[in-house]
Amino acid sequence: KEKAKCAVCRTETEYTGIASTNSFGSPDIDTRPPQMKRSTMFAWVQRCPECGYCASDVSKATSQVASMVHSSEYIRQLADSSYPELANSFLCKALVDEISSDYARATWSLIHAAWACDDAHRDGPAKTCRSNAVGMIRKAIDFGQKIADQVGLETAIQIDLLRRVGRFSEAKKLIQTQRDTITEDIILNILTFQETLIASEDETCHTISEALPAQITPVVEPKKKWWKIW
Ligand SMILES: [Zn+2]
């Protein structure tokens, strides 16, 4: 546990830090980690109990961020009962990231909100988060920001988001236009797997290991960022 003073309202709160956790099983194809790791998701975002500021570190905020936290849009999102509470924290963090012009971070906040909805079995809200993440990735790309360092991973994530919200023709088109730019076998395997899922209009969640030949098991290594699993 660590104490942090909210940069918006000056309230000091104790937050649980992200300790290293074990992760078993295969991540999903949008890089969503297996259950053990996912259960620490609450610690990926700090939410000030006083003013509702949501950030990975509430001790930092610009004046622009502070006015976002006080905006009606933000206050409405923070208490939106159609989403689980954790999803609202990530969605509010996405608003903060966006106002800070960090569209790559905002994309991940939206994806994390989708995972929080998945875990609470809220399918409709999860779809809304994923649709918004697709828009945010495009904005990130337009502004020259990368959502993942690994070549092709950004495309793989985009395709999965589109498929999960039933935007099959857009997903298919993206595979067709991007395949030649991808060199890594694992990503190419995933794209081929995605084509099969798209052909059968499958919107459900699948793991990375399903997309890979049986002898390869994706391993989440400690100290590596969890989405750099290959
Ligand atoms: Zn606060």
pLDDT at 217 over 70: no
For residue 32, the model assigns a pLDDT of 81
How does the average pLDDT of the chain come out, rounded? 88
pLDDT at 81 over 90: yes
The DSSP result for 85-126, as a single string, is HHHHHHHHHHHHHHHTT-HHHHHHHHHHHHHHHHHTT-HHHH
pLDDT at 222 over 50: no
14 CA distance to ligand 1 middle (Å): 12
18 CA distance to ligand 1 middle (Å): 20
Reported as a single tens digit per residue, the pLDDT across 111-158 is 999 999 999 999 999 999 999 999 999 999 999 999 988 878 899 999
62 CA distance to ligand 1 middle (Å): 13
Choice between 65 and 227, residue whose per-residue pLDDT is larger:
65
For residue 185, the model assigns a pLDDT of 87
For residue 45, the model assigns a pLDDT of 93
Hey, where are the domains in the chain?
Answer: 2-211
**In the structure, what pLDDT confidence band is assigned to residue 228 with cuts at 50, 70 and 90?**
very low
**Could you tell me which residues come within 8 angstroms of residue 35 by beta carbon, excluding any fewer than 6 positions away?**
24, 25
54 CA distance to ligand 1 middle (Å): 9
**In the structure, what pLDDT confidence band is assigned to residue 169 with cuts at 50, 70 and 90?**
very high
Max CA separation in the chain (angstroms):
53
126 CA distance to ligand 1 middle (Å): 27
The yes/no answer to whether this complex scores an ipTM above 0.90 is yes
